[in-house]
Amino acid sequence: MKELVIKRIEWEDKREFEEMAIKYFQELDERFIPSQEWRDSYVHAVMQHEGSFAWWAIHNGIKAGFVVFRVFPHRYKPIQIGFIEEFYIAPELRRRGLGKDLAKQAISFMRTLGATRFELAVLDYNEAAKRFWATIGFRKSSENYRLEP
């Protein structure tokens, strides 16, 4: 198995990234249908957010997935938080260690930016993601609640 290569997602990758992101969101919610508003804003929001990074995971020359993350100061503690916002490996390429490698590379990079604590959110029904992140050392620390119109 060749090593996983990471590469920054560039503007010229917009269409390809958008299509992979749609697969990601549809896997999370099969009812997801990207609106024109989503198409107009998602990639821009990911790539323009200050302190955000978007990387391809490339394996054997194939874009196997992506990670989006950022580093920011804690609200009141003198520490930097590394936050993984989006994380995806194509289903046909899972269970090969690519996800672990990608996560570890992103965490290592965030450490170089001063992050000492790492966080992410997992949907409550996504048991596979919970198990995956536990293998890397993450543990549940809180629950989020949402009120929608």
- How many other β-carbons are positioned within 10 Å of the β-carbon of residue 31? 6
Q: Token digits for 26?
A: 């549809």
**pLDDT tens digits for range 101-144:** 999 999 999 999 999 999 999 999 999 999 999 999 999 998 88
User: Rounded to two decimals, what is the model's pTM?
Assistant: 0.91
Judged by DSSP in three states, 13 sits in helix
Return d(Cα 112, Cα 32) in angstroms, integer: 35
Task: Work out the percent of the chain whose per-residue pLDDT is above 90.
Answer: 81
Rounded to the nearest 5 percent, the helix, strand and coil shares of the chain are: 40, 25, 35
1, pLDDT greater than 60: no
Structural domain spans, the chain: 5-136
List the structure tokens of 109. Answer: 């990079």
Under CATH, to which class is 5-136 assigned?
Answer: alpha beta
